[in-house]
């Protein structure tokens, strides 16, 4: 992962070469950019509300959206959602293989099945046959919380490690799909434990080259979840793994999309996200920096351009420390200074500084 320790240079390993898979109009895998995914948290049967949420996710930059399909009411909702949604819609199926068949019939762009809870081979065979006939990819979504019984027993008896159990589940399911001559596969191996998840993805990537949907599952609330997800995902990504990404949070799914951009942007894996630089504040701070930085973050929330914006607390160090920024503001005594690439270009009243920055940003974004 972290390479070249002698010279203290951290490098992201070359991306693992995976097969290309089509999901509606998107191609994932290969050398395509890592696509951002999220999941609706409203029952799919309530299609109007779900469509509304999908629109919000799309506006935030989400590229693939997953919905749960639990019963026939959800299938009816799914049909309407597929007709109206711009984004590729993935149907999340557990236990009932017939719901997978009905989702394919409804025109879903991808299926997610859990090898732990649809185990009868003849049922999987039917799903694969429907997916094959309709050119629908299948994600084999292995999850530690719902592994096959036999693997859980081995785990409980201490006969297998978590990551090897995850690997075994993913490999046996992919092997069966391959036996059925089906390779339109995406794989995920999620646990809520950061290191086990990282190891599981690493182990699987050595065995197969299917595109990987990456994520740490059930990471918790916005604050805790962001920390766990960032640590885990940055390690997986640093190994060159990952073709689609979801940051699972107990929060508004729009936050998941925002976080995914931030993680990919920080690792230089996506360039279509702004970077907000803000100083940590200290005794020299001369403006209400925390409030202003929060406002600037809101302005940048849906922006999909690679601009660097700085909010710095004092004129002495601010512009110099943020000379990398395309544009920035800093506080002086009762004044606000606007700077570009480290050079002060305008002096305004402190109360006007946010408005001035917003105007400049709007012009830059356009």
Residues 6+ apart with CB under 8 A from 258: 60, 61, 301
- Residue 224 or 316: the one with the smaller Cβ distance to ligand SF4 is 316
CB of 100 to ligand SF4, least distance (A): 54
Per rule CB under 6 A, is residue 284 in the interface with ligand SF4? yes
Instruction: List the one residue from 133, 268, 280, 298 that touches ligand SF4 (CB under 6 A).
Output: 280
CB of 311 to ligand SF4, least distance (A): 9
CB of 266 to ligand SF4, least distance (A): 20
Binding segment (CB under 6 A) for ligand SF4, from list 13-21, 43-51, 94-102, 273-281 = 273-281
C-alpha span between 190 and 217 (Å, rounded): 6
How far the first Cα of the chain sits from its last, in Å, is 38
SS3 268: coil
C-alpha span between 239 and 210 (Å, rounded): 15
Per rule CB under 6 A, is residue 288 in the interface with ligand SF4? no
User: Cα torsion at 54, 256, 218, 142 (round to 10°)?
Assistant: 70
Binding segment (CB under 6 A) for ligand SF4, from list 33-41, 83-91, 250-258, 282-290 = 282-290
C-alpha span between 313 and 231 (Å, rounded): 28
CB of 309 to ligand SF4, least distance (A): 15
User: Cα torsion at 74, 75, 76, 79 (round to 10°)?
Assistant: 120
Question: How many residues touch ligand SF4 (CB under 6 A)?
Answer: 12
Per rule CB under 6 A, is residue 291 in the interface with ligand SF4? no
CB of 327 to ligand SF4, least distance (A): 16
Binding segment (CB under 6 A) for ligand SF4, from list 49-57, 113-121, 246-254, 279-287 = 279-287
C-alpha span between 362 and 186 (Å, rounded): 39
Q: Which residue is nearest to ligand SF4 (CB)?
A: 313
3-state SS record for 178-196: HHCCCCCEEEEEECCCHHH
- Residue 224 or 282: the one with the smaller Cβ distance to ligand SF4 is 282
Per rule CB under 6 A, is residue 237 in the interface with ligand SF4? no
> 135 and 182 in contact (C-beta within 8 Å)?
no
- Residue 10 or 316: the one with the smaller Cβ distance to ligand SF4 is 316
Under DSSP, the state recorded for 71 is: S
Which candidate, 136, 41, 141, places its Cα nearest to that of 88? 136
Q: Can you point out the beta strands (E) in 61-103?
A: 64-68, 89-93
Task: Specify whether the backbone of 118 is left (phi greater than 0), alpha (psi in -120 to 50) or beta.
Answer: beta
Binding segment (CB under 6 A) for ligand SF4, from list 18-26, 29-37, 65-73, 281-289 = 281-289
- Residue 159 or 284: the one with the smaller Cβ distance to ligand SF4 is 284
Build a one-symbol-per-residue string for 308-337: x at contacts with ligand SF4 by CB under 6 A, - elsewhere: ----xxx--xx--x----------------
Per rule CB under 6 A, is residue 203 in the interface with ligand SF4? no
Rounded to 5 degrees, φ, ψ at 337 are -115, 135
- Residue 161 or 281: the one with the smaller Cβ distance to ligand SF4 is 281
CB of 322 to ligand SF4, least distance (A): 8
Instruction: List the one residue from 189, 279, 293, 309 that touches ligand SF4 (CB under 6 A).
Output: 279
Residues making contact with ligand SF4 (CB under 6 A): 279-282, 284-285, 312-314, 317-318, 321
């Amino acid at each position: 992962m972290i390479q070249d320790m002698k010279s203290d240079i951290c490098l992201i390993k070359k991306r693992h070469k995976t097969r290309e898979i089509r999901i509606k109009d998107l191609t994932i895998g290969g050398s395509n950019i890592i696509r951002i995914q999220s999941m609706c948290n409203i029952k799919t049967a309530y299609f109007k509300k779900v469509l509304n949420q999908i629109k919000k996710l799309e506006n935030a930059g989400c590229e693939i959206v997953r919905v749960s399909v639990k019963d026939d009411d959800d299938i009816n909702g799914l049909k309407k959602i597929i007709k109206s949604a711009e984004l590729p819609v993935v149907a999340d199926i557990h236990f009932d293989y017939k719901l997978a068949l009905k989702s394919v019939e409804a025109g879903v762009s991808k299926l997610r099945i859990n090898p732990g809870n649809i185990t009868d081979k003849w049922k999987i065979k039917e799903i694969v046959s429907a997916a094959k006939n309709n050119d629908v990819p299948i994600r084999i979504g292995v999850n530690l919380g719902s592994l096959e019984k036999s693997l859980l027993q081995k785990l409980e008896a201490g006969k297998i490690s978590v990551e090897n159990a995850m690997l075994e589940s993913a490999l046996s399911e992919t092997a069966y799909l391959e036996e059925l001559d089906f390779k339109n596969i995406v794989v995920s191996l999620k646990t809520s434990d950061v290191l086990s998840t990282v190891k599981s993805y690493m182990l699987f990537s050595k065995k197969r080259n299917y595109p990987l949907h990456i994520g740490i599952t059930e990471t918790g609330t916005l604050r805790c979840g962001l920390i766990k997800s960032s640590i885990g995902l940055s390690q997986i990504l640093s190994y060159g793994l990952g073709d689609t990404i979801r940051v699972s949070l107990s929060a508004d799914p729009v936050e998941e999309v925002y976080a995914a951009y931030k993680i990919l942007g920080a690792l230089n894996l996506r360039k279509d996200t702004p970077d907000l630089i803000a100083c940590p504040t200290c005794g020299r701070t001369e403006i209400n920096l925390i409030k202003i930085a929060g406002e600037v973050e809101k302005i940048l929330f849906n922006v999909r351009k690679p601009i660097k914006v700085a909010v710095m607390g004092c004129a002495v160090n601010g512009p110099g420390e943020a000379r990398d920024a395309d544009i920035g503001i800093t506080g002086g005594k009762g004044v606000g200074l606007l700077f570009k690439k480290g050079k002060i270009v305008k002096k305004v009243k402190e109360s006007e500084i946010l408005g001035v920055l917003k105007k400049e940003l709007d012009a830059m974004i356009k």
